[in-house]
Chains A and B, each alone.
Chain A
Amino acid sequence: MKPDALKPFLPIFGVAGLLVAWSIVTWRQWVDPVLLPSPVSTFAALWNGMNGGPLGFDFVKTVYRTATSTAIAAMIAIPLGIVLGSAERVYRSLEFVIDFFRSTPASATFPLFLVLFGVGDETKISVAAFGAILVILFNVAYGVMNARKTRLLAAKVMGASRLRVLFDVMLLESLPQTFVGLRNGVSLALVIIVVAEMFIGSQDGLGHSVFEAQQLFDMPRMYAAIFAAGALGYGLNLLFLLIERRFVHWSGK
C-alpha cells in the first residue's frame, strides 16, 4: 500500500486509539465507573436516546434554536457588514463598539436578556443571535474592506457604477471572509444556546439534557448528550464548509 492511499483513513486511527484507551481504562477500572462509564454503555445510551428517546427531541430543539439564532444573526449582520465595510470611515467610528461587545462574554448578558425577554425561547435565541451578529458583522465588514484594490479598479476602469462595484465585486470578494464569520458565528451560537439551556429555566435542549443527567447521576446519558452536542457542533461547521466549497469555489485560490 502506498503511503498516500492511507491518507484518507488517518483520522480513523485517532478515533480508534481514543476508543481503545477509553475501553482499557474502564475495563481495568482505573477510574470510578460511576464517573466514566464504558464506551459500550455510553453509545448504547446515545443510540437509545436518539432513536425515539428524549435525547433525539432535545437534539432537535437545540438544532432549531441554534439555526434560528444564526439565521437571524446572518440576516442582520451580512447586509450591515457590507454597508459598514463599504463606508470605511463609518466602520472605523463603530469599530471600538463592535470590538467591545464582541469581546464581552455573551453569557454575561443573560440576566439582561432575561429581563428583556423573559424565560422563554426568545431569550436564548436572542442572546445567541446577539453574540453571532457581532462575529459575522466583523468578518463581513473586513471582507469588504479587504477587497482586492486591483479588482475594484478593474471594474471601475470598465465604467462600473459604485452600486455595481458593490454588488458585482465587493459582495463576492467578501464571501470567503463572510463564511469564516458564519462558521465562527454558528459555533458561538451553539455554545450560548447550550449554556442557556442548562441554566435559564429550560425544559428541553441538549444543555438541559446534560444538566438533568448530571442531576440524576445518569452518567451514560450525560456522556451521550455531550457527544450529541459535539456531533452537532462538528456537523454544523462541516455543513458551512461544504456550502462554502460549493458556492465560494474560488476561496483560498
Chain B
Amino acid sequence: MNAAPQARRLQAMALRAAGTAKPPHVTIRGLCKRFDTTPVYENFDLDIPRGELISVFGPNGCGKSTLINMIAGLVAPDGGQILFDGMRLSEIKFGYVFQNYREALFPWLRAFDNIAYPLKIMEVPPAERRARTERLVAHLGITLDFNLYPYQMSGGQQQLVSIMRALIVEPEILFLDEPFSALDYEMTLFMREQLQRIFMETGTTTVLVSHDLEEAVYLADRVLLLSRHPARIADLAAVASARPRTDATLSDADFVRTKAHCLDVFQREVRRA
C-alpha cells in the first residue's frame, strides 16, 4: 500500500542528500482572492516542496485557512493557477482534515467506517475497503477501539480518526486546518507526536495551518510566514532540527533560534499597519 509514498520519500531523501533542488510538488501562480472589497491574495506565488511538511503561520485574518482552502478546492480563487505536478486538483488524490472534528466526522458511522468512507465514494468494493482500512490501522500502529461511534470518543481520538480518514485514499498531499486547536493542551501534545509519526511513516506532502508558533515550527520542515492582507510571503523559514523531534528539541539551540526568527518576522508583520 505504501510503496508509492515510500518510494517518493526515499527519492526525496536522496535528492536532499545530493543537495539537488527538488521539483516543487505544488506550484501556485498569480493567485487572487478578494472578500467583498478586501484583497486577501493578489498575484500570490508559492512553491510547495514535495514530501515536506509546511506550516502556515501569520497574523489573524491574513488568509491562512483561505490559502489551503483554495489549494484544496473548498474556496474558489478569483484568479490564478494551482497545479500539482502540473495536474489539476481533480486529477490527484488528497486528504483534508477540518478543525472541527465534531462536525466533520459522520456520527452515524463507526470510527472504522468513517475511515473507510472515502473509499466508498471512490467505489472500491466493500471487501477491499475493509482490507485497506485494516492495513492503514496496522501500519500506523494506532491503538483505538475502531468500533466506537465518534461521539463515544475523546476529541483527540476523533481527530485521529479524521486524519486516518484523510490518509485512507493514500493522498499525494494532506491538508490540515488548525487540526489541534479545539483540543486541550495534553491532547495537543499527544496529537503532535501522532502527526509527526504519521508524516515520517508516509512522507506525504503536508500543509498545516496553525495558530500556535511552537507547534508550527515543531512540526514543520518549513514555516510559511504570511503578511497581513493582501498576503505576501514574509518568509519561508527552514526548520533544520532532525526528526523525530522530541521535547528535547524544544530547547535545542537551533530550534530556539528558528522559533525566535519566526516570531520576529511575525511581529514585524503584525506591527505593519
Contact = CB atoms under 8 A, between A and B. Distances in A.
A89 interface: no
A93 interface: no
Contact of A157 (B96, B105, B106, B149): B96
Main secondary structure of the interface of B (DSSP, over half): loop
Interface of A: 148-151, 153-160, 164, 168-169, 172, 175, 248-250, 253
B104 interface: yes
B105 to A, nearest CB: 8
Interface of B: 72-74, 96, 98, 100, 103-108, 117-118, 121-122, 149, 151, 169
A160 B117 CA distance: 10
A151 B103 contact: yes
A248 B108 CA distance: 8
Nearest to B101: A150
B106 A151 contact: yes
A80 B74 CA distance: 29
B106 A153 contact: no
A168 to B, nearest CB: 8
Contact of A250 (B96, B98, B100, B108): B108
A159 B121 contact: yes
30 contacts: A148-B103, A150-B98, A150-B100, A150-B104, A151-B103, A151-B104, A151-B106, A153-B98, A154-B96, A154-B104, A154-B106, A156-B74, A157-B74, A157-B96, A158-B117, A158-B121, A159-B121, A159-B122, A160-B121, A168-B106, A172-B106, A172-B108, A175-B108, A248-B108, A249-B108, A249-B149, A250-B107, A250-B108, A250-B151, A253-B107
Contacts of B117: 158
A168 B114 CA distance: 12
- Which of B72, B100, B169 is most buried by chain A, counting CB atoms within 10 A of its CB? B100
A155 B121 CA distance: 9
By Cβ-Cβ distance, the 7 closest A-B pairs, closest first, are: A250-B107, A150-B103, A253-B151, A148-B103, A158-B118, A157-B96, A154-B104
Contacts of B104: 150-151, 153-154
B65 to A, nearest CB: 12
Nearest to A250: B107
Nearest to A147: B103
A250 B149 CA distance: 8
Given A150-B103, A169-B106, 12 more contacts: A149-B103, A150-B98, A151-B106, A158-B117, A159-B121, A160-B121, A164-B121, A172-B108, A175-B108, A249-B108, A249-B149, A250-B108
Contacts of A158: 117-118, 121, 169
A252 to B, nearest CB: 9
A185 B106 CA distance: 27
Nearest to A164: B121
Contacts of B149: 249-250
B151 A157 contact: no
A165 to B, nearest CB: 10
Nearest to B114: A154
A73 B16 CA distance: 67
- Which of A158, A169, A172, A253 is most buried by chain B, counting CB atoms within 10 A of its CB? A158
A253 B105 CA distance: 12
A24 B118 CA distance: 67
B110 to A, nearest CB: 11
A149 B105 CA distance: 12
B107 A153 contact: no
A178 to B, nearest CB: 13
Contacts of B105: 154
